[in-house]
Structure 1
Amino acid sequence: MPDKRLRINRAGEQPARRRPVLLAIAGDSAAGKTTLTAGLVQVLGPERCVSLCTDDYHRYDRVERKALPFTALHPECNYIEIMEQHLQLLASGQPILKPVYDHSTGQLGRPELVEPNDFVIVEGLFPLYTKLARACFDVTVFLDPPEPTRREWKVRRDTAKRGYTPEQVLAELAVREPESEAFIRPQRQHADVVVRFGPIASRQDPVDTPLSAELILRPTIRHPDLSEALRPGLHRTMHLKLTRDTDGRPVDTLHIHGYVPREASATVQEAIWASIGEPGSETPECLGRLGADGRSEPLAITQLLLLHHLMDAAR
């Protein structure tokens, strides 16, 4: 038996693979994870970046879940252990055969082969749920929009793309609330960066004012030097303050204002893009996109900051 085990180990030996950089983007349903991810993937390109969603690890399809005492936000409704194994494989440069969940139909599909590239972006409900999963990531993000904003996004998305009525979406939100509080929101404490897109509470802006962003930058990773982007004359676009996190610890909080003209935000974006190592080239237009026609300057700046982290980790 020892000889057989040795032969198996030798047969499984492979050339050393370059370890990819892994980014986690966690958050509740309709928190903006897919929108944030899309711009990053488009800038990096398919030859350098692959993305996947942990919702694919749902254990049951939509019909089966109706008979269960919990929703998709419960760990028992997901193959958490398989997700952990796959994250470890991806972090070591190995391919995986990923399960597939189709949100448009609510059905489980045929597994897909995922080959890790230089960058792997993992978004979904549970990427930061376990200690083992968190250990696989170089950078971790949690999206934490105000609940009224997230509920509005959820109703808009699920009625337009998933065939629900507003009443059905609101009813499902009520059912999911206890599990959201118990299993999804606690992942916030494990993120290097907490991102909140929403209106500024202290301002009485018109309803059509673009949302601003607040980024909590925890000292768990090295954040970029923003002195060039925060130089005098650009403070209208964003400013940095030392504040207290929910646990009372001091953190840097970056406020990115959505109400300023695009020209002012563009100057900040150019400064961050140059710091990434692309001086002289134009900031990618795909950053900040909301759907087919919409655009958010705070989203573009947030994506640029995350790109900076990815490039820095790769170096």
Structure 2
Amino acid sequence: MPHRIVHMLRARESGRRPVMLAIAGDSAAGKTTLTRGLVQCLGADRMTAVCVDDYHRYDRSERKGKPFTALHPDCNHIDVMEQHLQLLSMGEPILKPVYDHATGELVRPELVEPREFVIVEGLLPLHTRLARACFDITVYLDPPEDLRHAWKVRRDCDKRGYTPAQVRAELDRREPESAAYIRPQRRWADIVVRFAPVAGRQDPPGTPLSAELLLRPTIDHPELGTVIGESAALPPVPPPGAETAMHLRLHRDTDGRPVDALHVHGYVSPEESRIVKKAIWERLGPRAGDGGLDPGALGRFGDGGTSDPLAITQLLLLYHLLDADRRQAA
């Protein structure tokens, strides 16, 4: 089977190959924000970022006459994407197509050379078994739909020239394909990330969104027991005075299987979050201190906003990137 061959080839690679991270999710789910902080933290000389939404088969004007949207696999060169992911995972360069989201046009392709780490983000990076075989770590962003819709309206109106009515109409048109092709990728993720307000709390305006991370046992997660409030110690909504930056619970996944759910609270004080960020940073190992990493790049979003839950999520992904690289070197 092709996907098994990819696994074997990557395992047998004698030289150093890139560590591959996939970040999948629907439009405006926060993929680019999550990716940007990791790239800035590690540095562009060590990190290559690729958006697989560039593999559209048709430009925006051509899609108007098609019976599907950009979310449909038939609207994308999935076979070319698979080939390019295989090449990147083996350390080979690619000539990647480029889709200009501002104009809706397919423009001149660009040469992409994989560096030490490669982040692949987009709508369909986990759609096929062959594509999934190329990754060391897989993530799915799963915000509440009403929140994602609000983010998409704001982004597409501010940066892509649409009206709110046009964006909402397109969201309605895309919904069947989102349900059929985008959301099913959630089941293949090692980590499922949801940024959202905490249900049952009345936090003041401007409070950063909290994060819930489902940590599936498909990869080894860091040991954070010394800084996490255990589930037995805290009720679903911790009372004042019992608030910690994070806590861990046993959760039932959508398939009924138990999975660890790490809750990162946006409402706690910056001092409390700083303790957790420092603890995770120390678990990154010697490469964090020697590799010129920039922790100040984490947690940034929008035009100057910051979020400790976003920074902590990025730190955990950074841990997995460095851990996978360490394992490969060993």
TM-score normalised by length of structure 1: 0.92
> Number of residue pairs matched?
301
Long gaps (5+) in structure 2 = 1-12, 231-240
Matched to 1:175, the amino acid is R
2:91–2:114 CA contact under 8 A, matched in 1: yes
- C-alpha offsets along residues 182-227 of structure 1, whole Å, 9 cap, x if unaligned? 0000000000000000011122323432110000000001111112
Task: Give 3-state SS (helix, strand or coil) of 2:195's partner.
Answer: strand
Question: Cα distance, 1:53 vs. partner?
Answer: 0.2
Query: Aligned partners of 1:120, 1:106: CA distance in 2, in Å?
Result: 25
Q: Which amino acid in structure 1 is aligned with residue 297 of structure 2?
A: C
Q: Which moved more, 1:267-276 or 1:196-205?
A: 196-205
Q: Are the equivalent residues in 1 in contact too, given 2:213–2:261 (CA < 8 A)? A: yes
Matched, 1:99 2:97: yes
Identity of aligned residues (%): 68
- 1:115-174 per-residue CA deviation (whole Å, 9 max, x = no partner) reads 111100000000000000000000000000000110010001000000000010000000
Please give the secondary structure, in 2, of the residue aligned with 1:307. Answer: helix
Which residue of 242, 254, 258 corresponds with 2:266? 258
Equivalences for 1:218-237 in 2 at 5 Å? Answer: 218-230=216-228, 236-237=244-245
Q: How far apart are the structure 2 equivalents of 1:80 and 1:17? A: 28
Q: How far apart are residue 39 of structure 1 and its match?
A: 0.4
Q: 2:25 aligns with which of 27, 34, 41?
A: 27
After alignment, is 280-289 or 207-216 more displaced?
A: 280-289
* Secondary structure at the counterpart of residue 311 of structure 2: helix
Q: Which residue of 2 aligns with 1:241?
A: 249
* Corresponding residue for residue 49 of structure 1: 47
TM score, norm. by length of structure 2: 0.88
Pairing partner for 1:273 from 281, 288, 292: 281
How far apart are the structure 1 equivalents of 2:229 and 2:167? 44
Consecutive aligned runs of 4 or more in structure 1 exceeding 3 Å deviation: 231-235, 278-283
Q: Distance in 1 between matches of 2:242 and 2:323?
A: 24
Asked whether the equivalents of residues 216 and 253 of structure 1 are also in contact (C-alpha less than 8 Å), the reply is yes
The equivalent of 2:59 in structure 1 is 61
Gaps of 5+ in 1: 1-14
Q: Deviations for 1:18-64, whole angstroms, at most 9, x for unmatched residues? A: 21100000000000000000000011111111001010100111111
Q: Equivalents in 2 of 1:313, 1:122: separation in Å? A: 16
* Contact 1:270 1:282 (8 Å CA) reproduced: no
Classify the secondary structure of the residue corresponding to 1:246: coil
Does structure 1 retain, via aligned residues, the 8 Å contact 2:41–2:294? no
Rate the CA distance shift 1:30–1:150 in 2: closer, same or farther, 3 A: same
